A and B are shown apart, each in its own frame.
Chain A
Amino acid sequence: GENVEQHPSTLSVQEGDSAVIKCTYSDSASNYFPWYKQELGKRPQLIIDIRSNVGEKKDQRIAVTLNKTAKHFSLHITETQPEDSAVYFCTLINTGTASKLTFGTGTRLQVTL
């Protein structure tokens, strides 16, 4: 099946700094890349997504970039706040087939005061 590698596994930043999480994948047919945020004991929640025909997408303090040639995509959080502390998962899927959403291993982001 599809593999997706996610780095780093843990990330600690000071409030106000930026955080970057990177993911790489192997299946070039993957064409939809959602990011999920999971707070402790809670459900994963979709925070932003990007499709393969777009290189970058931004929503307030969150942005995602996609490099299809290199097969990697990244999540950027600017001006981090304590409430950004959570585990973030990159995911991907090939929407052209009846396939499942594959999750990365997760990045635990800690925003310190």
Chain B
Amino acid sequence: NAGVMQNPRHLVRRRGQEARLRCSPMKGHSHVYWYRQLPEEGLKFMVYLQKENIIDESGMPKERFSAEFPKEGPSILRIQQVVRGDSAAYFCASSRQGNEKLFFGSGTQLSVL
């Protein structure tokens, strides 16, 4: 049973470009969470999704950020018109039932030049 898969592992973008981060949850898991981590800091919640539904997006910036978890395929975190402040590690986690044990992916390190 493969773990939570995130790709790409590293992503470099120039200011103003778009970043797309992908997350495939563990088999049998239908709940996906996205967290952002700045260097030397903790993980900050961004969004919680269940298949085709956004359950909680209270941690998402109001502009430029969006997330989806379609019926088929991975969850996508999309950042439009990236700025240097978006540079961070973005972790995805999944759980079988909501609000239980979370299993994390290896993260995507986004660098904005």
Contacts and interface: CB of A to CB of B under 8 A. Distances in A.
Interface string B31-54: 001010000011111001000000
B42 A98 contact: no
Interface residues of B, number: 24
Given A32-B100, A43-B91, A44-B91, A98 B56 contact: yes
Contacts of B42: 89, 103-106
B99 A94 contact: yes
A45 interface: yes
A96 B48 CA distance: 15
B8 to A, nearest CB: 15
Nearest to A95: B99
A84 B41 CA distance: 19
A100 B32 CA distance: 10
A42 interface: yes
Contacts of B107: 43
A32 B100 CA distance: 8
A109 interface: no
B45 A100 contact: yes
A100 B43 contact: no
Contacts of B100: 32, 95
Interface string A67-102: 000000000000000000000010001111111111
14 contacts: A36-B104, A43-B91, A49-B101, A89-B42, A98-B98, A98-B99, A99-B56, A100-B48, A100-B59, A101-B45, A101-B93, A101-B102, A103-B44, A106-B41
